[in-house]
Amino acid sequence: MQDIQGYLAQHKDRFLNELIELLKIPSVSADPAFSQDVIDTAEVIKTRLLEAGCDTATVYETDGYPIVYAEKKVDPNAPTVLVYGHYDVQPADPLELWDSPPYEPVIKKTEKHPDGAIFARGACDDKGQMYMHVKALEFMTQTGQVPCNIKFMIEGEEEVGSANLATFVKGHRELLQNDIILISDTGMIANDIPSITTGLRGLSYVEVEVTGPNRDLHSGLYGGAVANPINILAQMIASLHDENNHITIPGFYDKVEELSTEERAEMAKAPFDKEAYKAALDIADVHGEAGYTTNERNSIRPTLDVNGIWGGYIGEGAKTVIASKAYAKISMRLVPHQDWEEITTLFKNHFESIAPAGVTVQVTPHHGGQGYVTPIDTVGYQAASKAYETTFGKTPIPQRSGGSIPIVALFEEELQSKTILMGFGLDSDAIHSPNEHFGVWNYFKGIETIPYFHKYFAELSQA
């Protein structure tokens, strides 16, 4: 493409500052306290998309947070790319673990980001990666080289399960019609090892409530005589894994795709340094399902993790109480072919069935989504691969990710188009954690690479 390096050098500070301004807005979709910020962010995105060159941009209301839709039409005969991203972010707590305030972005050098990284909630997931596409559009528009029609759909509920996106997609199939969907909401192996995510795990997220006695009780007068909801919840959670860390829910593995020895051997080629992995997390050893490697455990195998647990007295000091209720938030990562709604039902039935007399159990499904595997023999994948080759000088490695972007499966079903996952973040960027960050180098590398995707996708589509 015509002098993209020069354009980036010329506008570097502005491109950084625009992202920093975006990161200052705490658009936490999970917490109603931030609802106005989430809504404000949608308006900002709309404005930036118009400034970047979109012909039209609209904020669509939903039953939840709005969806920003915009488009740049260049030629009815050119292929159409639908860019998806999200402007909402994860909650920032625990706040005390942040080295700098989550909504006051700062740029600091790190071992993996010698050119500096932007530290802020949402820097990588997904404001930073989403905004790369906005700036790539600006470059293509300003230099008069927009090879595809480009549509943008930026939502505000990805971190809480995209509850209203399906309704929007089903209601706007024509508007959203496209030849390929492009998303930057994943990572790559390393700055010198580009990779394209070809698989995503599905998700089922539930909340459980265990109720014992109808009021908190004195543990001296009642201890040992009534079921303690916290002890019971602990026993029920513990029973969900066996000694090999297999999940014990009946039917849970029935539809799990078993990879061939060849496929596993291919996966094993991806570079992985177990010692470095353990050192980075300060853990003495890894932990997971018997018979699988770490890379397999967090990509091709389903998992069950408690994301939060609470009950009884959790204040300072001591309170000798038997709580009336105990709670947990539990999520299951699923692999292709496992249906998240079916798994949610299996969990609910099983969890309710193992509750002992003396407690009652309520399971409330939160949200979920299907897993996804994308083929690599498509025009879309080839265009992405060539784009990385051009800007990284290396062929990217196809990689399964352990994360979930439930809407990818939805898109394929509703819009009959494939999704290409061009992620520029690193697993070490601490998304969903304190001190989330996104490499400045990665941000600009993304902006540089994306126009080539559009270029090659147009060329290969018309070939």
**Residues in region 403-462 near a second copy by CB under 8 A:** 403-404, 427, 430-435
List the one residue from 6, 114, 171, 223 that touches a second copy (CB under 8 A). Answer: 223
Give CA–CA dist 134/208, Å, rounded: 40
Residues 251-290 that bind a second copy (CB under 8 A): 281-289
List the one residue from 266, 308, 395, 462 that touches a second copy (CB under 8 A). Answer: 308
Contact 88, 158 (CB under 8 A): yes
Contact 382, 456 (CB under 8 A): yes
| The one segment of 127-135, 219-227, 339-347, 372-380 that binds a second copy by CB under 8 A | 219-227
List the one residue from 38, 323, 383, 440 that touches a second copy (CB under 8 A). Answer: 323
Q: Does 94 bind a second copy (CB under 8 A)?
A: yes
Give CA–CA dist 333/338, Å, rounded: 10
- Cβ atoms within 10 Å of 34's Cβ, excluding its own: 21
Site of tokens 């015509």: 2
Contact 322, 217 (CB under 8 A): yes
Residues 366-405 that bind a second copy (CB under 8 A): 366-367, 401-404
- Closest to a second copy by CB, 281 vs 463, is 281
Q: Does 213 bind a second copy (CB under 8 A)?
A: yes
* Element holding 90 (H helix, E strand): none
Mask of contacts with a second copy, 95-134, x by CB under 8 A? --x-------------------------------------
Q: How far is the CB of 398 from a second copy (least distance, A)?
A: 17
List the one residue from 9, 50, 95, 221 that touches a second copy (CB under 8 A). Answer: 221
- Closest to a second copy by CB, 8 vs 30, is 30
Q: How far is the CB of 253 from a second copy (least distance, A)?
A: 13
Q: How far is the CB of 71 from a second copy (least distance, A)?
A: 30
Report the relative pairing of strands 202-211 and 360-369 from DSSP bridges. antiparallel
Mask of contacts with a second copy, 341-370, x by CB under 8 A? ---------------xxxxx-----xx---
Q: How far is the CB of 97 from a second copy (least distance, A)?
A: 7
| The one segment of 76-84, 135-143, 223-231, 381-389 that binds a second copy by CB under 8 A | 223-231
- Closest to a second copy by CB, 91 vs 116, is 91
Q: How far is the CB of 64 from a second copy (least distance, A)?
A: 11
Residues 151-210 that bind a second copy (CB under 8 A): 159-161, 187, 201, 203, 205
Please name which of 203, 248, 247 lies closest in space to residue 339, comparing C-alpha atoms. 203
Give CA–CA dist 88/78, Å, rounded: 31
Q: Does 246 bind a second copy (CB under 8 A)?
A: no
Measured in whole angstroms, how far is the alpha carbon of residue 404 from the centre of its chain? 6
- Closest to a second copy by CB, 23 vs 124, is 124
SS3 265: helix
Give the phi and the psi of residue 190 in degrees, each rounded to 5: -165, 165
- Cβ atoms within 10 Å of 159's Cβ, excluding its own: 19
Tokens of residue 98, six digits: 């942040």
Give CA–CA dist 369/203, Å, rounded: 5
- Closest to a second copy by CB, 4 vs 38, is 38
HEC profile for 271-288?
CCCHHHHHHHHCCCCCCC
How does DSSP classify residue 354?
Answer: T
Q: How far is the CB of 134 from a second copy (least distance, A)?
A: 24
Exposed / middle / buried, residue 5 (Cβ in 10 Å: 0-12, 13-18, 19+): exposed
Give CA–CA dist 129/97, Å, rounded: 24
- Calculate the dihedral angle through the C-alpha atoms of 441, 29, 85, 50, rounding to the nearest 10 degrees: -90
| The one segment of 56-64, 175-183, 305-313, 382-390 that binds a second copy by CB under 8 A | 305-313
Mask of contacts with a second copy, 37-76, x by CB under 8 A? ----------------------------------------
